[in-house]
Structure 1
Amino acid sequence: MKKFTFSLKICTYLLLCLIFLSFSAYGPTEEDAGYMQQKLTDHYDPESGPKNVRKYELNVTDKGFCRYKRFFSNGKVEYFSCNLTKFKEIDYLGNTLSGTLFVRTKGADVIVQTYNDKRGGDIDSMAAFMAIPLKNLEAEDLIDLSEKFQAMSLKLHQ
């Protein structure tokens, strides 16, 4: 009977450990990705980019991907994606009212895809940066974004 009780205690402790570990699966990359996505979405400027964009999607995933997709009123779709393990730096051209955030990579590591373009058809290419129009971005916000991009890049390399 003592052997059975001892085995039951061990199983209970292991089960509790698994439960606690499952709740700790939410790690720092999820926090950084959520923060960056929220900040980029809050400051996105639909008026600053091309005039015929009817919808956009902007995602930063916990796996380290930054994705930006623009849907134009004529049916054309532009898609930009980069893995933050290839992240180099961010630059901002503009002022606190309006500007463009350039997410730069170490090489031509940004995937650029164009669909339904009447002039060029479907095009796949690579670029060295991704440009995102932003507004009402203070210096502190820019510093926070830069630090989060750097931190997430470093965490993904581990």
Structure 2
Amino acid sequence: MKKFTLGLKMSLAAISCVFFCAFSEPDTLIESVTVLQKYLTDHYDTSQESATIKRYELNITNNGFCRYKRYFNSGKTEYFAFKLSKFSGMEYIGDTASGRLLLRTKGDDVIVQTYKDQGGDVDSMATQVVIPLKNIEAEDLNVLQNNFVKISKLVQ
């Protein structure tokens, strides 16, 4: 009887461990997505493009996509999207007051779509997305980098 009770206790412990581990990863993904979305929204620099851009949309989704859409005053729309599993690195060009964040992918993994352009609608591929940022410190860039890497590993 003691062997049965010990076996039952061990199997319950193993099942509870598996149960808790199974539900820990999505929280990490959602948490990382939330952090990325907040940092990018808080530090987005509309003044770098205010003369030509009417509005923008910048979203990091729970299923691992980065989507960036710009609406120009002329009516033109640019849309950039890539799966974060294709993220290869980032680079920041500028200073703490103002700069541009380059999100690089492993290959031509960024979908670029242009609507209502003078040359017509264009679909193409790119290797990076450029996002204007302001008031960002080195620690903030490290947080961005760590969360991009964490999400890219989780969504593979």
TM-score by length of 2: 0.82
CA-to-aligned-CA distance 1:61-115 (integer Å, 9 cap, x gap): 0111000000011110000001001000010000000000000000010000000
Q: Which residue of 2 aligns with 1:106?
A: 106
Q: Which residue of 2 aligns with 1:154?
A: 153
Identity over aligned pairs, percent:
50
Q: Which residue of 1 aligns with 2:87?
A: 87
Q: Amino acid of the residue matched to residue 131 of structure 1?
A: V
Uncovered stretches (5+) of structure 2, i.e. residues with no partner? 1-15
- Does 1:67 pair with 2:67? yes
Query: Displaced runs of 4+ in structure 1, greater than 3 A?
Result: none
CA distance in 1, matches of 2:50, 2:79: 14
Q: Which residue of 1 aligns with 2:47?
A: 47
The alignment of Structure 1 onto Structure 2 pairs a total of residues equal to 136
Q: Which residue of 1 aligns with 2:129?
A: 130
TM-score by length of 1: 0.81
Per the alignment, in what secondary structure is the counterpart of residue 46 of structure 2? coil
Uncovered stretches (5+) of structure 1, i.e. residues with no partner? 1-16
CA distance in 2, matches of 1:121, 1:51: 22
- Does 1:116 pair with 2:139? no
